[in-house]
Amino acid sequence: MSAAPLYDRVALIGLGLIAGSMGLRMRRDGLAGEVVGFARSAETRGVAVELGLCDRVAESAAAAVAEADLVVLCVPVGAMAAVAREIGPHLAEGATVSDVGSVKCAVIDAVGPHLPDHVNFVPGHPLAGTEHSGPRAGFPELFENRWCLLTPRPGTEAAADRLTRLWQGLGANVDRMDPDHHDLVLAVTSHAPHLIAYTMVGVADDLGRVTDSEVIQYSAAGFRDFTRIAASDPTMWRDVFLNNRDATLEILGRFTEELFALQRAIRTGDGEMLHDYFTRTRAIRRGIIEAGQDTDAPDFGRAHGERPV
């Protein structure tokens, strides 16, 4: 498919899984006149050229954003402020600045103060990812039939509409949300589950040392899924928890209460409580499948270890 370019020049800052997937898809489908990329290491910039993630790489973030009408920050959440500080003075009049960070309030606080008044700030978050990271992990179908949530800043309506069309061109369904609400929803659907997976794998690892690695050898599906999630990029997830602290702690507090209730039901032999609980949670799973957000659905995703993030 070839469409009219939605932007003349798109600058991708950070060239890992998300930026790589965006670049490959934009280039494949002609969504941008030119895709310029920048990553901090020469090695990543070299791989980006080798794989054609962008049309060219720049030698600095400031050079990459010059004359770009869309700039997308694709670095870990904790690195957004430093990148914004560097590019701020070099942004073109009327450019749109967006990001793909998994947390929205902290990114808005970190990036916003460094942007000049003459740009439109439209933060975003594609709910798509794999446990793989780096420039070799990207693939053009990553966003197919996934959600991308935009949290536009006031006065950026036209810029948000144009960015919506880009994400639709990348294959995503687009919705808009208030940043606080985004962070709470993602704490429930992604951030707390990741922490639970990290914890469970840590527990199993401790236990594995006293069971001669039987935990690994006889891994059943539930634990295998946990290990896949717990293999996600440590830098990215450290930054997610440090930057979505309040919402994650709120959800973990509720999780702990529920866990204690289930623990009590097991201890007291309250089978009715357990059965009712599992019946309710089974209905949630069915809702996810009906909404088409079942992680195992598309074959291309399975090949790349896809899961929503």
Binding segment for ligand NAP (CB under 6 A), chosen from 89-97, 98-106, 114-122, 250-258, is 98-106
Label residue 41 exposed, middle or buried (CB < 10 Å: 0-12, 13-18, 19+). Answer: exposed
Piece of the chain touching ligand NAP by CB under 6 A; list 70-78, 152-160, 178-186, 292-300: 70-78
Please work out the total of residues on this chain that contact ligand NAP, with binding judged by CB under 6 A. 28
Nearer to ligand NAP, 150 or 215 (CB): 150
Compose the 15-44 pattern: x for residues touching ligand NAP by CB under 6 A, - for all others.
xxxxx-------------------xxx--x
Is position 57 an interface residue for ligand NAP (rule: CB under 6 A)?
A: no
Q: How far is the CB of 147 from ligand NAP (least distance, A)?
A: 11
Minimum CB–partner distance for residue 131 and ligand NAP (Å):
8
d(CA 142, CA 225): 19
Kindly state the tokens that stand for 149: 């949530």
Smallest gap, in angstroms, from Cβ of residue 118 to ligand NAP? 24
Q: If you ran DSSP here, which 8-state letter would residue 232 be given?
A: S
For ligand NAP, the binding residue among 23, 123, 129, 169 (CB under 6 A) is 129
Burial class (CB in 10 A: 0-12, 13-18, 19+), 212: exposed
Nearest approach in angstroms of CB 207 to ligand NAP is 28
* CA 203 to chain centroid: 26
- Residue 236 is a binding residue for ligand NAP (CB under 6 A): yes
Verify binding: residue 100, ligand NAP, rule CB under 6 A.
yes
179 binding ligand NAP? (CB under 6 A): no
Q: Which residues 196-235 are close enough to bind ligand NAP by CB under 6 A?
A: 233
65 binds ligand NAP (CB under 6 A): no
Task: Pinpoint the alpha helices (H) of the chain.
Answer: 17-29, 42-51, 61-65, 80-87, 105-111, 157-169, 179-186, 192-208, 214-217, 221-229, 234-243, 245-268, 271-290, 299-303
Beta bridge partners of 197: none
88 binding ligand NAP? (CB under 6 A): no
Site for ligand NAP in 130-169 (CB under 6 A): 133-134, 137
Angle at which helix 192-208 crosses helix 221-229, to 10 degrees, equals 110
Q: Which two tokens stand for residue 36?
A: 């310029």
Which residues, in sequence order, are CB contacts of 129 under 8 Å at separation 6+? 17, 18, 142, 232, 306, 307, 308, 309
Of 33, 82, 46, the closest CA to residue 62 belongs to 82
Interface region with ligand NAP, contact rule CB under 6 A, candidates 13-21, 144-152, 254-262, 281-289: 13-21
Binding positions for ligand NAP, rule: CB under 6 A? 14-19, 39-41, 44, 74-77, 79, 83, 100-102, 125-126, 129, 133-134, 137, 233, 236, 309
